[in-house]
Amino acid sequence: MKSFKQFFIEQQEGKMLVLLPGGYKPPTKGHLHMIESYNNNPMVSKVIVLVGPKEREGITREQSLAVFNLYDVGRLGKVTVEDTKFDNPMLAAFDYVEKDPRAEEYVGLTIGIGA
């Protein structure tokens, strides 16, 4: 007999979209570990890292994206790193879900905002 936890996990497998909005100025190994953890979770089908535009302590979005490339996040099959026009991470996540046409391909998934 399956436990409730096992039943729940099977029902949710591959049905979550995780949004990770933030500045990432700079992206740290801690950020990378979090992203890898979501990527390796069987309940997650997609992880989207939203990088804000605001420069912080001389670090630009372009530099942050370059660091993500150095970390080789492209090797993580479920992860994409995308830009957002919002400095506020919550606004970035809400806008992505409500208005961004890129989100249309994830209709039907449960959306989680990670941190």
Which pTM was predicted?
A: 0.84
Domain count, the chain: 1
pLDDT at 115 exceeding the cut of 80: no
Q: Is position 80 within any domain?
A: yes
What CATH number has the domain bearing residue 43? 3.40.50.620
- Tell me which residue has tokens 């605001």: 54
Predicted confidence (pLDDT) per residue in 13-69, tens digit: 668 999 999 999 999 999 999 999 999 998 899 999 999 999 999 999 999 999 999
Q: Is position 92 within any domain?
A: yes
Q: Is position 46 within any domain?
A: yes
Residues 110, 16 contacting (CB under 8 angstroms): yes
Predicted confidence (pLDDT) per residue in 91-112, tens digit: 999 998 888 888 888 888 888 8
> What pLDDT is attached to residue 20?
96
Domain enclosing residue 79, as ranges: 16-113
Q: Is position 2 within any domain?
A: no
